[in-house]
Structure 1
């Protein structure tokens, strides 16, 4: 990495992250839970990434613990400063994640490494796309200018990882082409992805931290809601590949649900709630730090 690349705010093909950025505005918004596990599922549908999770991750054995280790550094990459963020830490988590891609008959079909630019960028792309999907579905319809702004800000975000950006699209329009290509021609129903959405039809297993009696009381409500948000929050192509049931009636219900959240009254109420309610703690700290410097 050159000195210029270490300080992406100086690159004229990107926009800075900070309190005025749209990435900051939307990525830490707690309404993001409404999209379900969209980015994680889509990440695991790339064979190389899904295999890395399958071979190396504790996600299946202890999902909650895995999320606790993964989520904070991602947020601290976004809401950190250009000189103090967790991007390199996130990258270094993946140094030893490599192995063999199995073929359909069990033979070696290739090898993977989490830091291959194509693989690493796909993980980032799903996080960026979740911002577009979340904001456009549950907050407001984004303008073309806002879409381009988010994309240019996301380039600064990606460069904080210190991974080659040679596969990163230059513009939002190019990102859309990249995304459609990945969805239509590259992604597969990898076992890691199928496992990750298994609860849609089978229900969630009892979390270790929840008492069995309590779980029996809340599961009948929690499981259908989780299935609705998870399945509705996935692209149709992903639902098809993963074999997730979804009817026209369910789609109409989902769109009505989203429209309520996008409505002016709901947005008016949400915008007047305390910031600690509206945003994750990582985002709150980022805004507070920026205010302190101003």
Structure 2
């Protein structure tokens, strides 16, 4: 990387690249890639808080979400609108077109950071790549934790594929690590930058205060059921978070919690041979199902063991 994060982020300059040929560009991923195999797996929902949370622990990105989204008034709706364009960037026949759409959604997202008055822009490469990195981490973490253990070669392969994925967005790659080892070092360095932003504090409130009672559930039922739901979410959801995020979000985590989480994760991996026999539309999200159907391949029969 030719420029440091601190220097680059404070430039707050959008840096799209040339879009020539994007409409006709072939899909750089496809059925031979591990990202196709694992990203659209519905078990990714188990790490939803990890991917949604880690990106918002970086101050500039969280401020962009706070200033330009409806996260505080329509948290679930924002998530529903975010996922489809990213899925289409991976699984549609014209991925670069969808990647550019994702990029262009962010053209007007800019403003000022509260802590020091510096500027931010969503298409600044340091900021845009960090958002992408959280999705790359999600593929790696979800697969290795809840589906099956990945070999080091497979982790490196997923990272290499993620570079082709990032190129689909049409934003400068000056921040992008070049090897999987560099990516791990980059990830660790970003964890050390985490702060308790207003966005992430709000988004994790249910983990500290408990899940609000659904309107359709009687109060007396929720008095019994609520503590069970909260205890389960604490282990399963907080267990997926890096310790730095637990710290900035004031989420307690004990050795006993860790043992419970590891038992849950091990059980999920042990069930993988059964889960991968489920119907395609049960196992995969619709965009992935359509893509696998288009190429005539059943992904349940491939890449279920380490290479």
With the length of structure 2 as denominator, give the TM-score of the two structures: 0.84
C-alpha distance in structure 1 between counterparts of 2:194 and 2:24, whole Å: 30
The RMSD of aligned alpha carbons is 2.4
Q: Which residue of 1 aligns with 2:278?
A: 273
How big is the shift at 1:190? 1.1
| 1:68-107 superposed matches below 5 A | 68-82=80-94, 85-103=97-115
Q: Which residue of 2 aligns with 1:248?
A: 255
Q: Which residue of 1 aligns with 2:146?
A: 138
Question: What CA deviation, in whole Å up to 9, does each residue of 1:22-76 have, x standing for no partner?
Answer: 0011111111122241011001011100001111110110112111211111111
1:197 to 194, 204, 226: 204
1:175 aligns with 2:180: no
1:119 to 127, 132, 139: 127
Q: Is the 8 A contact 1:18 1:24 kept in 2?
A: yes
C-alpha distance in structure 1 between counterparts of 2:296 and 2:18, whole Å: 30
Query: What is the number of equivalent residue pairs in this alignment?
Result: 279
C-alpha distance in structure 1 between counterparts of 2:218 and 2:92, whole Å: 41
Q: Which residue of 1 aligns with 2:293?
A: 288
Q: Is the 8 A contact 1:8 1:16 kept in 2?
A: no
Question: What CA deviation, in whole Å up to 9, does each residue of 1:78-107 have, x standing for no partner?
Answer: 11235565211111111111111012xxxx
Q: Which residue of 1 aligns with 2:40?
A: 28
Distance 1:4 1:156, change over 3 A: farther
1:151 aligns with 2:159: yes
C-alpha distance in structure 1 between counterparts of 2:95 and 2:44, whole Å: 27
C-alpha distance in structure 2 between counterparts of 1:100 and 1:187, whole Å: 18
1:235 aligns with 2:235: no
Distance 1:89 1:136, change over 3 A: same
